[in-house]
A and B are shown apart, each in its own frame.
Chain A
Amino acid sequence: MDSELTYTDALEVSGLTRAFGVRKALDDVSFTLPKGAFLSIFGPNGAGKTTLVKVLTTLLNPSKGTARVCGMDVVRDAVELRSRIGLISHNPLLYADLTAEENLLFFSHLYGVPDPERRVRDLLVNVELDHRRLDVTRTFSRGMLQRLSIARALLHHPDIIFLDEPYSGLDPHAMDILDELIAQIRGEHTLVMISHDLTKGLELCTHALILADGKVVLQQPKTDIDEGLFRETYRATVGMGVA
């Protein structure tokens, strides 16, 4: 694998369509995102946000169009691309009957992480779960699961991290910890976050995108955003009744 693959745009999406039967969850979506940026994706329920992330993370194939992530095609280069992607979802994506350490070691072995024991130990310290490393994750709180989920997503040093509603269901303290962890990783990685929270999403992002009914309604760098107009556009999409 060429670990020094050069690219300027972390995401290059062109005419992307994904249909489920006759229903188009994504309809001719096109946009780009520069390397190192933080994109917040907003939209009402059923707008196609999660489908977009699933296509960009190679979990779903597009029906039409192309998408390149970190310079690689999501269909043709899927296996290689997966080693450059991290995903933090509202689901923890962790095995409830394995310990925190066993979960991270398992994924380390799938990704071929060098010196996995040391990497796992360092990450558990980083997410403040070292003291619970031998406990099965079934016993973890939602906040602890989310922190461990971040450690899992960072294990293999991905270039780009997708966050699918990562704040969902967290208490304020757990949200603060997640804020700190995101602040730590944002300089080193391109981040793409799905959020329903306009204030939080706009606060964190460098670029913002609104999806509604599978289409891109608005995409702008944060520097160009008129927050009032942006909020109004978002409210209008929620009112489109696509949920």
Chain B
Amino acid sequence: MGASSWQQFKAILHKDLVMEMRTREMITSMGMYALLTMVVYQIALAEAGDSFDVRLVMPGLIWVAFIFMSLLGLNRSFVHETDQGCIDALLLAPIDRPVIFFAKFVGNLIFLLVVELLSLPVFSFLFLQGREGIANPVWMLGVVLLGASIGISGVGTLLATMSVNTSGKDIMLTVVFVPLMYPLLRAAVGATFAVVIGGPASVFMFWSWMAWAAGFDVIMLVAAFGLYEFVIGA
């Protein structure tokens, strides 16, 4: 008897997916936040006039919405584990702690990507209707979403675990998460800008920013992997 780490990873991920499909807590809260933020953006820019090229600020607006939306979801990602003391049952199983991290991280990444992918057409409808579309191929936007979301989910999963037993966890997660996300946020906005605006150097700019994002992802995932045993046992 004894499960492999792969089986345990699949079991935790499957459990999280089933529970989210059943409750839709994370996806609904993140989706509603994204939608409402876009409506607020539209009101804020209502008087800007047709001469204002909304594409210049669109990358920043998108990532501000996604960063705060992810905070909302990450705060909820451990609710099921603390409910009825399930975290103890999980920790009591013969499972290496980094396996728990990777399963939770992948689950959060999937939920985040789903909401981001659903949000973008709405964003496009609200802001780009009747205007020039994005300059570069859409798949490049997909690369930015994936690269940035990996970092957001990785760091977010680690911090959400740390804040499980912390009083005022919403504040704690926000205060630590946003400053840590600064380099990734900068890279995501830069790469999105290159995709949206285009120009002769845009492809080079895009890959430069993506290299930055990839570096951030690798460093943060390795750090989270190394720290998780300590964090979850603390």
| Residues in chain A within 8 A of chain B (CB atoms) | 1, 3, 57-59, 61, 79-80, 82-83, 85, 87, 89, 91-98, 102, 106-107, 109-114, 136, 152, 156-157
List residues of B (79-95) whose CB comes within 8 Å of A's CBs: 80, 83-86, 88-95
Give the interface centre of A91, A92, A106 by most chain B CB atoms within 10 Å. A106
Nearest first, the 3 A-B pairs at minimum CB distance are: A112-B3, A91-B85, A109-B11
Q: Chain A contacts of B8 at CB under 8 A?
A: 109-110
For B94, give its contact among A80, A87, A98 (CB under 8 Å): A80
Are A94 and B89 touching (Cβ within 8 A)?
yes
Residues in A whose Cβ lies below 8 Å from that of B94: 79-80, 82-83, 110-111
Can you spell out 21 A-B residue pairs with CB atoms less than 8 angstroms apart? A1-B2, A80-B94, A82-B94, A83-B1, A85-B92, A89-B85, A92-B84, A92-B85, A93-B88, A95-B19, A95-B80, A95-B86, A97-B19, A109-B3, A111-B2, A111-B3, A111-B93, A114-B1, A152-B89, A156-B1, A157-B1
Which residues of the partner chain B approach A110 to less than 8 Å between Cβ atoms? 3, 8, 11-12, 90, 93-95
The reply to whether A91 and B3 contact each other, CB–CB distance below 8 Å, is: no
Name B25's closest neighbour in chain A (CB-CB): A97
Tier of interface size on chain B: 20 to 34
Q: Are B18 and A112 in contact (CB under 8 A)?
A: no
**Of A79, A94, A112, which is within 8 A of B7 by CB?**
A112
Write the nearest CB–CB distance from B196 to chain A, whole angstroms.
Answer: 40
Q: Are B84 and A87 in contact (CB under 8 A)?
A: no
Q: How far is the CA of A107 from the CA of B3 in the complex (A)?
A: 11
B-side contacts of A3, CB under 8 Å = 1
CB distance from A8 to the nearest CB of B (A): 23
Name the residue in A87, A94, A111 with the highest tally of chain B Cβ atoms < 10 Å from its Cβ: A111
Residues in B with CB closer than 8 Å to A152 are: 89
B139 → chain A closest CB, angstroms: 36
Contact A94 B93, beta carbon cutoff 8 Å: no
Q: How far is the CB of A195 from chain B (nearest CB, A)?
A: 18
- Give which listed residue, A61, A107, A113, A157, contacts B89 with CB less than 8 A: A107
Q: Which residues of A contact B1 (CB under 8 A)?
A: 1, 3, 83, 111-114, 156-157
B233: CB under 8 A from chain A? yes
Q: How far is the CA of A104 from the CA of B174 in the complex (A)?
A: 35
Q: Please, which residues of chain A bring their CB within 8 A of the CB of B3?
A: 109-112
| Contact flag A109-B86 (CB < 8 Å), given A57-B92, A83-B1 | no
Residue of A nearest to B87 (CB): A93
| Residue contact B84 to A93, C-beta cutoff 8 Å | yes
CA–CA, A56 to B10, complex, Å? 28
With CB as the reference atom, state the residue of chain B lying closest to A78. Answer: B94
- Shortest distance between the CB of B34 and any CB in chain A (Å): 24
Question: B51: CB under 8 A from chain A?
Answer: no
CB distance from A238 to the nearest CB of B (A): 26
**A83 CA to B14 CA in the complex, in Å?**
21
B41-73 CB mask vs A (1 if < 8 Å, else 0) is 000000000000000000000000000000000
Docked Cα-Cα span, A61 to B234, in Å, equals: 9
Decide if B84 touches A91 in the complex (CB within 8 Å).
yes
Question: Hey, which chain B residues are within 8 Å of A57, CB to CB?
Answer: 92
Kindly state the separation between the CA atoms of A224 and B8 in the bound complex, as whole angstroms: 46
Contact residues in B for A91 (Cβ distance below 8 Å): 84-85, 88
Nearest CB on A from B38, distance (A): 30
Min CB gap B43→A, angstroms: 36
Contact B88 A59 (CB under 8 A): yes
Q: C-beta contact mask, B124-137 vs A, less than 8 Å → 1, else 0?
A: 00000000000000
